[in-house]
């Protein structure tokens, strides 16, 4: 189940991040600004992802989670492929919104099942393996996406049977979207995990009341993770274009650099964070998940600055790899921490609220802020680089501070 969920997350991020390597062709063909592209890459997805999140979370707490994941994977894969039919900015914007609806299912259903399948001392590592699919997907998008784009983008119009002439970047959406339909079928025939439930209405009521007393712990988790996620998605959305526009990389070398940083070192960061959290928690260090969140911010900041300020390709690659390794170590421990303080029958809804918040701050705000800062406040050529720098030096310290604030409330609110 963990492998299947991680593979779904891989496809999710592949479909989501492929846009990062097609900024130039899409802007040229659709005649849009950096701000409009930021809205397309971030806000279009985040709007419906957020709107659908809580209702989907409520269904996750009552219905078959594997069936819901199968339907979600099918929807976002189909909408990614249909993005290749877009002839205007509005049509592509609508397709990306519907991708968000499909992807809103995965994380609430997945973390709910993982909490039912694994004991507390193994939950963070299972969550880390699941989340590793995100960086594997980003790596595949950047590596193979760069290769595919080099082959098709910049060439002549392509003829697709039954569809006629399409732009090269539209063909990329067909290539990355259609494989998800097979995985959708696999989930539709899988069995759901047995649920842990409250035995009596009184127990359920007591659990809800207990959750209300743990709100302060959740504040620290949500705000700290939201800050970190904003920086991560700002870099995922714009760093490839920065390498092309400012540092002189071509699409293949930009994609390969991002693939190594996210697909190898980011993946290692996910898994390492989960393993460390489980080990420390098993040793009695109950604040370990949030302490790792704090350490993640402190360690990742210098590497982010190295990547943004260096002109050497080697130093850029080292800085970017170190940033994604340390910057993503917080993810699995914090996602497991939410399960530690949440009643079993509410995990889908709380997880959906968490993902809603991360989507608004990360996917929704991160790419858009880069575009806004670059278009309106900074010189044109260096705008992407400097916008990323401004966001990094202000938002990472804020996230570390919020994790520090939430540690005591989390320790007092642990339920399992």
- Using left for φ > 0, alpha for ψ between -120 and 50, and beta otherwise, residue 203 falls in alpha
Q: How many CB atoms lie within 10 A of CB 62?
A: 10
Nearest to 304 by CA among 324, 274, 328: 324
Nearest to 16 by CA among 88, 107, 120, 87: 107
- What is the Cα–Cα distance from 357 to 376, expressed in whole angstroms? 26
pLDDT on residue 244 = 86
Tokens (6 digits) for 400: 């570390």
- What is the Cα–Cα distance from 244 to 373, expressed in whole angstroms? 19
- Using left for φ > 0, alpha for ψ between -120 and 50, and beta otherwise, residue 198 falls in beta
pLDDT on residue 308 = 92
- What is the Cα–Cα distance from 321 to 300, expressed in whole angstroms? 10
pLDDT on residue 55 = 84
pLDDT on residue 413 = 64
- What is the Cα–Cα distance from 304 to 323, expressed in whole angstroms? 5
198 φ/ψ angles, rounded to the nearest 5 degrees? -70, 135
- What is the Cα–Cα distance from 283 to 124, expressed in whole angstroms? 14
* Segment 262-281, tens digit of pLDDT: 888 988 988 899 899 889 88
Which residue positions in the chain have pLDDT lower than 70? 145-164, 196-214, 216, 344, 376-382, 413-416
* Segment 5-35, tens digit of pLDDT: 989 988 888 887 777 777 777 888 888 887 7
Tokens (6 digits) for 213: 């007393």
pLDDT on residue 163 = 66
Contacts of 203 (CB under 8 A, 6+ apart): none
Cα end-to-end distance, the chain, whole Å: 22
List of domains in the chain: 2-191+202-413 (1.20.1250.20)
- For the chain, the C-alpha Rg in angstroms (whole number) is 20
Q: pTM surpassing 0.95?
A: no
CA 300 to chain centre: 17
- What is the Cα–Cα distance from 104 to 48, expressed in whole angstroms? 8
Question: 87 with 180: CB under 8 angstroms?
Answer: no
Helices (H), 196-311: 201-213, 215-245, 251-259, 267-282, 288-309
158 φ/ψ angles, rounded to the nearest 5 degrees? -105, 145
């Amino acid at each position: 189940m963990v492998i299947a969920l991680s593979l779904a997350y891989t496809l999710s991020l592949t479909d989501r991040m492929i846009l990062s390597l097609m900024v130039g062709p899409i802007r040229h063909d659709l005649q849009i600004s950096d701000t409009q592209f930021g809205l397309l890459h971030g806000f279009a997805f985040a709007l419906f992802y957020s709107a659908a999140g809580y209702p989907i979370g409520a269904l996750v707490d009552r219905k078959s989670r594997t069936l819901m994941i199968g339907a979600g994977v099918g929807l976002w894969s189909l909408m990614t492929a249909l993005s290749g039919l877009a002839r205007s900015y509005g049509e592509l914007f609508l397709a990306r919104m519907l991708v968000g609806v499909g992807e809103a299912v995965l994380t609430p259903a997945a973390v709910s099942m993982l909490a039912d399948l694994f004991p507390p001392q193994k939950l963070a590592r299972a969550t880390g393996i699941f989340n590793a699919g995100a960086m594997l997907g980003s790596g595949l998008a950047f590596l193979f996406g760069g290769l595919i784009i080099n082959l098709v983008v910049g060439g002549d119009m392509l003829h697709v049977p039954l569809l006629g002439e399409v732009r090269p970047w539209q063909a990329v959406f067909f290539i990355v979207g259609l494989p998800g339909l097979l995985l959708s079928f696999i989930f539709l025939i899988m069995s759901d995990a047995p649920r842990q439930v409250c035995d009596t209405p009184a127990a359920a009521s007591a659990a809800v009341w207990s959750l209300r007393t743990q709100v302060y712990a959740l504040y620290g988790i949500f705000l700290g993770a939201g800050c970190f996620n904003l920086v991560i998605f700002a870099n995922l959305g714009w760093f490839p274009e920065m390498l092309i526009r400012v540092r002189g990389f071509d699409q293949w070398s930009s994609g390969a650099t991002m693939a190594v940083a996210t697909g190898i070192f980011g993946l290692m960061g996910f898994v390492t964070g989960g393993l460390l959290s489980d080990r420390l928690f098993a040793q009695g260090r109950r604040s370990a998940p949030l302490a790792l969140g704090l350490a993640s911010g402190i360690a990742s900041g210098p590497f982010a600055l190295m990547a943004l300020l260096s002109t050497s390709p080697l130093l850029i690659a080292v800085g970017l790899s170190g940033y994604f390794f340390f910057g993503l170590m917080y993810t699995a421990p914090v996602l497991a921490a939410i399960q530690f303080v949440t009643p079993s029958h509410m995990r889908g809804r709380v997880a959906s609220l968490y993902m809603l918040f991360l989507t608004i701050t990360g996917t929704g705000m991160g790419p858009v802020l880069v575009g806004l800062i670059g278009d309106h406040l900074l010189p044109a050529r260096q705008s992407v680089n400097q916008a990323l720098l401004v966001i990094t030096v202000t938002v990472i310290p804020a996230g570390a501070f919020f994790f520090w604030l939430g540690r005591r409330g989390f320790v007092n609110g642990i339920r399992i």
